[in-house]
Amino acid sequence: MTTTLLASCLRVLGLAVLLVASAGATPRPPNIVFILTDDMDVELLQHLPRLQSLMVQQGMSFNQHFVSLSACCPSRSATLRGQFAHNTGMYANKGANGGFDKFFGDGLEQQTLATSLQAAGYVTALMGKYLNGYPSRHPGNRYIPPGWSEWAVPNHGSPARQYNYALNVNGQTVRYDALPSDYLVDVLTRRATRFIRQTTAERPDAPFFLYVSPLTPHFPSVPPRRYRNLFPEARAPRPPSFNEADVSDKPGWLARRDLLPRAQVNLIDALYRKRLRSMMAVEDMVEQVMQTLKDLAIDGRTYVFFTSDNGYHLGQHRLPAGKGTEFDEDLRVPLLVTGPGVRAGSQVTQLTANVDYAATMAELAGIAPLPFNDGRSLVPLLKRQPTGPWRDALLLEHAAERGAPRQTRPWLEPLDPGDIPAPAPMVEWRSPYIGLRLADNRTYIEYESGEREYYDMNTDPHQLTNGYARLPAAEKARLSAWARRLAAAAGQTLRDAEVAPPISP
């Protein structure tokens, strides 16, 4: 037998052995990319054609996707833990009932989606915003929480303003200035694509979990210089709820608000233009991440999630820019997903929420969900499989910031205009509430103050008319009992209660 023929036979034999071994091997878990924007409302999506082309047309859109509490830190806590606020204790962005200090101090970092995925063999990375109030003096500016293989998170300066900040990069502080190349979203994009390339080259047998969290379009919504002149004539949307003519049927914190003056409306329009411009850089990020996956031929085994930590209102119901309310503008967020088995251009109408991310990614990775998980896996929806009984009601909850923060630390994130404490008698707008977002497109809210709200968005899509007074007594009792049952439940008990409303008396 000639040398050439022998070599050819050996190659064929080797391929046969490889195919046999592969047939009995456990399929490799997929890569997961999770892109979480900051304060992006659903309306902005229609102005992002590249994002629509890359993810809406090529993936799945979740059309009834909500956060259970419209505030950054509680939402990000729900993402990492798969729990509602009453089970994490994370209700605010700072203070004794929220922020990084509480999350760290209560030991919640010891069991998160990241720790589970890392333990399962994933190379994990977080790039961008972590939790409001990070870092604090203890554990310090170079602290890296458990579960992360790579870490690039702002720890100094003004990252929300996109320039003149520093990142904690794997335990070392790296400073950035005001050059065009220092724009934070662009820096995160470069780091994210580099992580994908390096991990694929150096750890080809290990799946990765990449969590990228740009501080965009969060106020002050600074765009990169290349986009700062776009949308010169854009105005904030003017739905019927914009500067609502009559709010007398709303709870007291809102009913006492005056109409927004022309100067305030002009500021809202100016901010809207900045939000649009800043989101162009996020489109660049998504485009470059998707292109990197394609260039490396790993797009077919990578799921990409795109969403926001909460929505945002801009003038609706006489409210200046901000979030934190019970209205759909603040609670509804985009969720777009591409990946293996996800049908291009498909849509989901089931009621889904940010508490579902952890269970979804655990199932994709082939591991058990966190033992305290409240959410539901979205995998059957992604793969168009039967789901069984699905959520009929999503718990809504909100509580004001309480007490002083546990640590004194720099504040790296400017407040939204609507987050700045208002003078009396307006401070009660943060009065705690619980409520329901129902799968049949209704909202019910009950405040600790005793006030109530009810909106049927089938006939009142802009939530103009508080219909609580006209509800039958039996329905009032049923909705209240349902909300209270969910607010006291956890885990499987909570999931069961989402599909088992109380029987009306």
List CB contacts of 271: < 8 A, sequence separation 6 or more. 219, 221, 236, 314, 321
Q: What is the spatial distance between Cα 141 and Cα 475, in angstroms, rounded to a whole number?
A: 51
Query: Three-state SS for 367?
Result: coil
Edge to edge, the sheet with strand 452-456 lists: 393-398, 433-438, 442-447, 452-456
- Distance, CA of 172 to chain centre: 27
DSSP E strands in 268-361: the ranges are 302-308, 335-338, 346-348, 352-353
Q: Which two tokens stand for residue 414?
A: 């400017």
Question: 164 with 157: CB under 8 angstroms?
Answer: yes
Residue (of 211, 194, 29, 192) closest to 121 by Cα position: 29
Q: Which two tokens stand for residue 69?
A: 């509490």
Residue (of 358, 310, 360) closest to 112 by Cα position: 358
Q: Which two tokens stand for residue 386?
A: 């039967």
Sign of CA dihedral 38, 309, 332, 427: negative
Strands 433-438 and 442-447, how do they pair? Answer: antiparallel
Residue with tokens 């934190």: 324
Q: Residues with catalytic annotation?
A: 72
Q: Is 229 exposed, middle or buried (0-12, 13-18, 19+ CB in 10 A)?
A: exposed
Angstrom CA distances, 455 to 104, 219, 465, stand at 38, 29, 7
Residue (of 234, 308, 242) closest to 274 by Cα position: 234
3-state secondary structure 60-126: EEECCEECCCCCHHHHHHHHHHCCCHHHHCCCECCCCCECHHHHHHCCHHHCCHHHHHHHCCCEEEE
Per-residue b/e over 88-122, b at no fewer than 16 CB within 10 Å? bbbbbbbbbbbbbbbbbeeebbebbbbbbbbebeb
| Segments in 318-455 forming alpha helices (H) | 328-331, 357-365, 379-382
For residue 146, cis peptide bond before it (omega within 30 degrees of 0): no
